[in-house]
């Protein structure tokens, strides 16, 4: 088998890159470890920056998002029994975010992929990467019981944090940066109306809580929990009771509860691998970096990596600009580190840290109070939340 760009992973990064490359006439094949149903069963974040919305439009997969996505002009931060609104639109000169689930983005991309006729091989358990430093890199794997060799010009590692792409780079050619937080998020999905029209990020001494949504009839709520908590110990009733305790009383009084349709715990981590390339392999999205979910940046960062790699590939194939290839990592990392900083900061000011002393707690609440009562502070939060501009490639 032969293609121009071999893509490992059919998550949002791999599928979006594949779709954009296909539209530009660049042939690609996607190899995914799981089945399509498994990929669609993962519940992930749901807040899209305008840059990602525009990119989905460019890829020709924005129709349903434009109908069903909900544009949010602001969000709220709750603490000390009060709610403060961050008016994104007013503070950023008109920018907004769109609430539309990652699962739906993935579904739309899968449909477009099928319609495009480009090949996607699912349920491939054993992809291996070869000759990354040479001019003819290859993937080998088993498909339908047969050994396959896929020759290509370039490989895009879109295979997430636990994927094989980053692990195929020799240890002395990559440096990683990491922070693991001493808590996780317990999330539930429920068919209940949202407690408020906009998202509420709540800081409370019992721990952080987030009120989010997928639609006017489906909600997604999260609670900060300690790392030793088990999902089995959290009945729906216990979840709702704890959520109410962490919200301002008037908000808690309005909360509509109901049976959960999904419940899971995710750890929080900040992680960056540098550089994001090795020879003809390019890491994209979660394969190269992870953010804690507090700023809703994970999926959006994956989209800006895709945009950068896609634009470079277009210049390479259309104008012979192979010089741009070696700049991929440097261009991506500028924006990534700013989003890492924002996600770390949002996590730091809103969560309860188990090892924090009295002094640190006072500093933390005073920082939050300062930011939300200063125009400069609010503007800083807003411009990061809607997403910093994509870096130019040339």
**Distance from chain centroid for Cα 281:** 21
The answer to whether residues 12 and 285 touch, using CB atoms and an 8 Å cutoff, is yes
Give the residue closest to ligand APR by C-beta: 298
Q: Does 45 bind ligand APR (CB under 6 A)?
A: yes
Among 6, 132, 158, 296, binds ligand PHB (CB under 6 A): 296
CA separation for the pair 239, 18 (Å, rounded): 39
| Range in contact with ligand PHB (rule: CB under 6 A) among 33-41, 115-123, 291-299, 347-355 | 291-299
Asked if 263 is an active-site residue, the reply is no
| Range in contact with ligand PHB (rule: CB under 6 A) among 43-51, 224-232, 239-247, 363-371 | 43-51
Q: Does 47 bind ligand APR (CB under 6 A)?
A: no
Instruction: Give the ranges where the chain is alpha helix by DSSP (H).
Output: 12-23, 36-41, 50-58, 63-68, 88-91, 102-116, 236-246, 249-254, 298-319, 328-350, 358-372, 375-385
Catalytic one among 297, 317, 328, 371? 297
DSSP letters, 200-223, are: EEE--TT--EEEEEEETTEEEEEE
Shortest gap between Cβ of 270 and ligand APR (angstroms)? 12
The answer to whether residues 354 and 226 touch, using CB atoms and an 8 Å cutoff, is yes
Asked if 72 is an active-site residue, the reply is yes
By beta-carbon proximity to ligand PHB, the closer residue of 200 and 309 is 200
Q: What angle do CA 243, 244, 249 make, to 5 degrees?
A: 145
The answer to whether residues 18 and 28 touch, using CB atoms and an 8 Å cutoff, is yes
- Residue 34 binding: pick among ligand PHB, ligand APR, none (C-beta 5-8 Å cut-off by kind): ligand APR
Q: Does 47 bind ligand PHB (CB under 6 A)?
A: yes
Q: What are phi and psi of 353, to 5 degrees?
A: -95, 125
CA separation for the pair 215, 101 (Å, rounded): 9
Site map 123..162 versus ligand APR, x via CB under 6 A: -x--x------------------------------xxx--
**Total residues in contact with ligand PHB, by rule CB under 6 A:** 11
Instruction: Report the interface residues with ligand PHB, using CB under 6 A.
Output: 45-47, 199, 210, 212, 220, 293-296
**What are the residue numbers of the active site?**
72, 201, 293, 297, 385
Instruction: Report the interface residues with ligand APR, using CB under 6 A.
Output: 8-14, 31-34, 39, 44-45, 102, 124, 127, 158-160, 163-164, 285-286, 298-299, 302
């Amino acid at each position: 088998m032969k293609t121009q760009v071999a893509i490992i992973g059919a998550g949002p990064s791999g599928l979006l890159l594949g779709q954009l490359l296909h539209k530009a006439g660049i042939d690609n094949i996607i190899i995914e470890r799981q089945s399509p149903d498994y990929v669609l069963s993962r519940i992930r974040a749901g807040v899209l920056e305008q840059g990602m919305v525009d990119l989905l439009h460019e890829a020709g997969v924005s129709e349903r998002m434009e109908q069903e996505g909900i544009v949010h002009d602001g969000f709220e931060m709750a603490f000390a029994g009060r709610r403060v609104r961050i008016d994104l639109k007013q503070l950023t000169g008109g920018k907004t975010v769109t609430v539309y689930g990652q699962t739906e983005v993935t579904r739309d991309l899968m449909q477009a992929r099928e319609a495009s006729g480009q090949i996607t091989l699912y349920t491939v358990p054993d992809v291996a990467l070869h000759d990354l430093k040479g001019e003819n890199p290859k993937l080998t794997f088993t498909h339908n019981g047969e050994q396959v060799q896929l020759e290509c010009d370039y490989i895009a590692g879109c295979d997430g944090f636990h994927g094989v792409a980053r692990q195929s780079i020799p240890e002395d050619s990559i440096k990683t940066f990491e922070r693991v937080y001493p808590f996780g998020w317990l999330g539930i999905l429920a068919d209940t109306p949202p407690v408020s029209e906009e998202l509420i990020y709540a800081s409370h001494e019992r721990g952080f809580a987030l009120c989010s949504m997928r639609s006017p009839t489906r909600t997604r709520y999260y609670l900060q929990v300690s790392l030793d908590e088990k999902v089995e110990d959290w009945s729906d009733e216990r979840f709702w009771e704890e959520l109410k305790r962490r919200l301002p009383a008037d908000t808690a009084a309005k909360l509509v509860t109901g049976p959960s349709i999904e419940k899971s715990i995710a750890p929080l981590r900040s992680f960056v691998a540098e550089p994001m390339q090795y020879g003809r392999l390019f890491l994209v999205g979660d394969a190269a970096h992870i953010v804690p979910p507090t700023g809703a940046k994970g999926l959006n960062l994956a989209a800006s990596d895709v945009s950068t790699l896609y634009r470079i590939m277009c210049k390479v194939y259309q104008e012979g600009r192979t010089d741009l290839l070696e700049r991929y990592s440097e261009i991506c990392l500028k924006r990534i580190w700013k989003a890492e900083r924002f996600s770390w900061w949002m996590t730091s000011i809103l969560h309860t840290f188990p090892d924090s002393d009295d002094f640190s707690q006072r500093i933390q609440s005073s920082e939050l109070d300062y930011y939300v009562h200063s125009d400069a502070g609010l503007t800083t939060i807003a411009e990061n939340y809607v997403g910093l501009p994509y870096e130019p490639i040339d």
